[in-house]
Amino acid sequence: MLSWLDVLAITVAAFATALGVRRGGSFLITLPLAAAVYWFGLDYVPSPAWLPLLGVASGLLATLVSGLIPISMPYKLNGFLGGVAGFLWGAVLALTLWVGLPSEYSPATGAIRYPALSTPPLIQDAVASSALAPRLFTAVWQNPLARRFFLGAEELPR
């Protein structure tokens, strides 16, 4: 069964895909701009909870720039390439929603607790009932580059 967190992440991915189809192939060209803005913005967000907002802002910037690029390609190819770009950016946003919740180091077990006990019970229940969030968090946590990209400049526990 899907939790509200899963539904929210999948809906965001679907909206990003639809936006990419609407914007067309120029959105695929500006996708590296969105990724660069997101990457450089990681140092300036106060906490990982702000990462979804950073992702949306960088995607909207890419959308604005893609509207300025005149590109001519066949109609169906234009929508397809934009859909691919929207799907990729939607996947990044969805993954950020799934793993961007606060986590904490547990000295008793020596492991990372996801989500942190300080998060509201509604969020803890959503993560506990989600089939994807804990697995994705574990996968992101074990990869240093993915950890930097999706969890920001978090310090590793010592």
Whether the pLDDT of residue 20 is over 90: the answer is: no
Coil/strand/helix, residue 114: coil
51-107 per-position pLDDT tens digit: 888 888 888 888 888 878 777 778 788 889 889 999 999 999 899 889 988 888 888
Can you tell me the distance from the alpha carbon of 82 to that of 106, in angstroms, rounded to the nearest whole number? Answer: 43
140-156 per-position pLDDT tens digit: 999 988 988 888 755 55
Can you tell me the distance from the alpha carbon of 115 to that of 117, in angstroms, rounded to the nearest whole number? Answer: 6
Q: Which of 66, 43, 32 is nearest to 151 (CA)?
A: 43
Residue 110 tokens, joined: 């020596």
Coil/strand/helix, residue 104: strand
- Is the pLDDT higher at 139 or at 106? 139
Pairing of strands 104-106, 111-113: antiparallel
Whether the pLDDT of residue 158 is over 70: the answer is: no
